[in-house]
A and B are shown apart, each in its own frame.
Chain A
């Protein structure tokens, strides 16, 4: 198999694994890692399909760099929210809506 196909196919496999993890794992840290795996899969597809005739393509590399910056920012925000949830509920999981409504009380 040529490397031209190897990169996008590996990327697709990583993407599918990432999506599955994001949907199926209840633990928030696992969800966040799964999101990063999903992102890496997309970047691999972008770089792999971008190289034509073996020479790397600067535009797709610039896009991947931008994508990495975005996903680092998103991961940071997700980790901050997950920590806050851990402090508030003692669990690294999404709270069930309505469960804690009584404690928060009505508010605007």
Chain B
């Protein structure tokens, strides 16, 4: 190959531009329009994300200066293995959810409103977030992500959804305000916001203002990630939204702010983080697992049960901080791999579970768990998808959730912190308990006189594909972990 021809065209800016373009076109076409545009756009984006992942695995981290300006006045974009995994995950999950949502909104047209353009803008914000190389750009993308997510929650327009959207908006604004305060203090101290430039500066010297900054950014991001006790806004926002929106928010949006915590914790702020802070995050994660599972067990409505299960599963993500901080390299590496696998498998499984629940609710016209009788025989594919998602949450082999929990447990044992193992295993048992609570009802006979509409096949099979992927990831996890190793 000639030296000039191996310079592959830059895919990075297109991952942000493509969703912006189709979202704007969908917006111009008016409410309820744009499903086909979304499908075409997502197909292109998935291709781009695959291409980026291949480029990264061949030639290492990729970067791009927007418009050729470069930092500090221009914006730099940057992608390593971790960003590639999340980009790929986002495009694949949303592609399947687009297939699901098209069928869903045909059966349920009053909920659609501006779903398509908002989804496109949400994707543009999320892709930009995963590609950001400086903390100010991260703030902007975080805010855009929050605003579009609020729009999606509010779209149905009833008191419950607008109230949930308002609560979500205020919590989000508080979170991003705290993050921006941190950015201001970091910029005031070091005169730069670039993550790569900050890392050596922080390692050399960190005045007390930087500790305040890191604290503010961390609390802001925890609020956005809905870690216990900041989870209060999540169950209403995720439970009240239409099913495709719940799936989008629970599977992906909370992961975006978690990704930021992880990235900032591992890269520029690594010299500042203490064992005490890491243990505190682990303890909050444990509280989230126990509280979220207990609340899920006591819910009467199906979607609220799944929303509380998200609160619990977010807790798992935070168990990785005590394991990656001030421990052996080996333990830290397997904990990090476990945490990222948990992000990926939970996204797939939770999207599948919300999608399957949406199908069930559409068919029955009600969403109380008590009225689920007979669903297993009428909607076997949806209930199978829900159960496969549940297997991943509970961490049973051969699911991706099993690999995630295995790696986390490995990290805990290697660093001598076996207490966390107890938490992980009991969390798995609790998830099995609330999933079985739903399944037990679904296998009971149907109530006499119950209403039932057969759903479109696309609804059932898109959820099933998501669930199957979360299961099969357990067999194909090596590729993900190799990609993660490229930093």
Q: Chain A residues in contact with chain B, CB under 8 A? A: 8, 11, 15, 18-19, 22-23, 28, 31, 35, 38-39, 42, 45-46, 48-50, 52, 58-60, 62-63, 66-67, 70, 73-74, 77-78, 81-82, 84-85, 88-89, 94-95, 97, 100-101, 103-104, 106-108
Taking CB atoms, residues of chain A closer than 8 Å to B177 are 15, 18-19, 35, 38-39, 42
Taking CB atoms, residues of chain A closer than 8 Å to B368 are 106
Please indicate which of the listed interface residues B139, B165, B177, B366 has the most CB atoms of chain A within 10 Å of its own CB. Answer: B177
Contact of B185 among A35, A45, A73 (CB under 8 A): A45
The answer to whether A28 touches B159, judged by C-beta atoms less than 8 angstroms apart, is: no
**Please, how many angstroms separate the alpha-carbon atoms of A107 and B159 in the complex?**
13
Q: Give B154's nearest chain A residue, CB to CB.
A: A81
Known: A84-B154, A107-B158. 19 other contacts (CB 8 A): A19-B174, A39-B180, A42-B181, A46-B180, A46-B187, A49-B187, A59-B73, A63-B183, A70-B143, A74-B143, A78-B173, A81-B150, A81-B162, A84-B157, A85-B162, A104-B160, A108-B243, A108-B361, A108-B362
Taking CB atoms, residues of chain B closer than 8 Å to A100 are 159-160, 163
Which 7 A-B residue pairs are closest in the complex by CB-CB distance?
A: A49-B188, A95-B163, A46-B184, A108-B361, A100-B159, A45-B184, A106-B366
| Any A CB within 8 A of the CB of B476 | no
The answer to whether A8 touches B169, judged by C-beta atoms less than 8 angstroms apart, is: no
Chain B, 175-198, contact with A by CB distance < 8 Å: what is the 0/1 string? 001001101110111010100000
Q: How far is the CB of B136 from chain A (nearest CB, A)?
A: 5
Contact of A81 among B143, B160, B169 (CB under 8 A): B169
Q: 27 interchain pairs (CB within 8 A)?
A: A15-B177, A15-B181, A18-B177, A19-B177, A22-B173, A28-B166, A31-B170, A35-B174, A42-B184, A49-B184, A49-B185, A49-B189, A50-B188, A59-B72, A74-B169, A77-B151, A78-B169, A81-B162, A85-B166, A95-B160, A97-B163, A106-B367, A106-B368, A107-B156, A107-B158, A108-B104, A108-B111
Q: Describe A's contact surface by its main secondary structure.
A: helix
Q: Describe B's contact surface by its main secondary structure.
A: helix
Q: How far is the CB of B438 from chain A (nearest CB, A)?
A: 16
| Any A CB within 8 A of the CB of B18 | no
| Any A CB within 8 A of the CB of B236 | yes
**Please, how many angstroms separate the alpha-carbon atoms of A18 and B180 in the complex?**
14
Number of residue pairs A-B, CB distance < 8 angstroms: 129
Taking CB atoms, residues of chain A closer than 8 Å to B191 are 52
**Please, how many angstroms separate the alpha-carbon atoms of A81 and B365 in the complex?**
27
Chain B, 101-141, contact with A by CB distance < 8 Å: what is the 0/1 string? 00010001001000000000000000000000000100110
Taking CB atoms, residues of chain B closer than 8 Å to A59 are 72-73, 187
Quick one: which of B190-243 are within 8 Å of A by CB? 191, 193, 236, 242-243
**Please, how many angstroms separate the alpha-carbon atoms of A66 and B136 in the complex?**
10
Q: How far is the CB of A94 from chain B (nearest CB, A)?
A: 6
| Any A CB within 8 A of the CB of B469 | no
Q: Chain B residues in contact with chain A, CB under 8 A? A: 72-73, 104, 108, 111, 136, 139-140, 143-144, 147, 150-151, 154, 156-160, 162-167, 169-170, 173-174, 177, 180-181, 183-185, 187-189, 191, 193, 236, 242-243, 358, 361-362, 365-368
**Please, how many angstroms separate the alpha-carbon atoms of A6 and B170 in the complex?**
29
Taking CB atoms, residues of chain A closer than 8 Å to B157 are 84
The answer to whether B160 touches A77, judged by C-beta atoms less than 8 angstroms apart, is: no
The answer to whether B184 touches A95, judged by C-beta atoms less than 8 angstroms apart, is: no
The answer to whether B362 touches A88, judged by C-beta atoms less than 8 angstroms apart, is: no
The answer to whether A73 touches B147, judged by C-beta atoms less than 8 angstroms apart, is: yes
The answer to whether A94 touches B108, judged by C-beta atoms less than 8 angstroms apart, is: no
**Please, how many angstroms separate the alpha-carbon atoms of A23 and B159 in the complex?**
21
Q: How far is the CB of A92 from chain B (nearest CB, A)?
A: 11
Q: Give B362's nearest chain A residue, CB to CB.
A: A108
The answer to whether B162 touches A84, judged by C-beta atoms less than 8 angstroms apart, is: yes
With A78-B169, A88-B159 in contact, do A42 and B180 touch (Cβ < 8 Å)?
yes
The answer to whether A108 touches B180, judged by C-beta atoms less than 8 angstroms apart, is: no
Contact of B136 among A11, A31, A63, A97 (CB under 8 A): A63
Taking CB atoms, residues of chain A closer than 8 Å to B163 are 85, 89, 94-95, 97, 100
Q: How far is the CB of B145 from chain A (nearest CB, A)?
A: 12
Q: Give A97's nearest chain B residue, CB to CB.
A: B236
Q: Give B180's nearest chain A residue, CB to CB.
A: A42
Q: Give A82's nearest chain B residue, CB to CB.
A: B166
Q: How far is the CB of A77 from chain B (nearest CB, A)?
A: 6
Contact of B73 among A48, A58, A84, A89 (CB under 8 A): A58
With A84-B162, A85-B163, A108-B362 in contact, do A45 and B188 touch (Cβ < 8 Å)?
yes
The answer to whether B159 touches A103, judged by C-beta atoms less than 8 angstroms apart, is: yes
Taking CB atoms, residues of chain A closer than 8 Å to B169 are 74, 77-78, 81
The answer to whether B170 touches A35, judged by C-beta atoms less than 8 angstroms apart, is: yes
Q: How far is the CB of A42 from chain B (nearest CB, A)?
A: 5
Taking CB atoms, residues of chain B closer than 8 Å to A22 are 170, 173-174
Taking CB atoms, residues of chain A closer than 8 Å to B188 are 8, 45-46, 48-50
**Please, how many angstroms separate the alpha-carbon atoms of A8 and B189 in the complex?**
12
**Please, how many angstroms separate the alpha-carbon atoms of A76 and B2 in the complex?**
54
The answer to whether B366 touches A45, judged by C-beta atoms less than 8 angstroms apart, is: no
**Please, how many angstroms separate the alpha-carbon atoms of A71 and B57 in the complex?**
39
Taking CB atoms, residues of chain B closer than 8 Å to A31 are 170
Please indicate which of the listed interface residues A31, A74, A101 has the most CB atoms of chain B within 10 Å of its own CB. Answer: A74
**Please, how many angstroms separate the alpha-carbon atoms of A48 and B187 in the complex?**
11
With A19-B174, A63-B136 in contact, do A81 and B166 touch (Cβ < 8 Å)?
yes
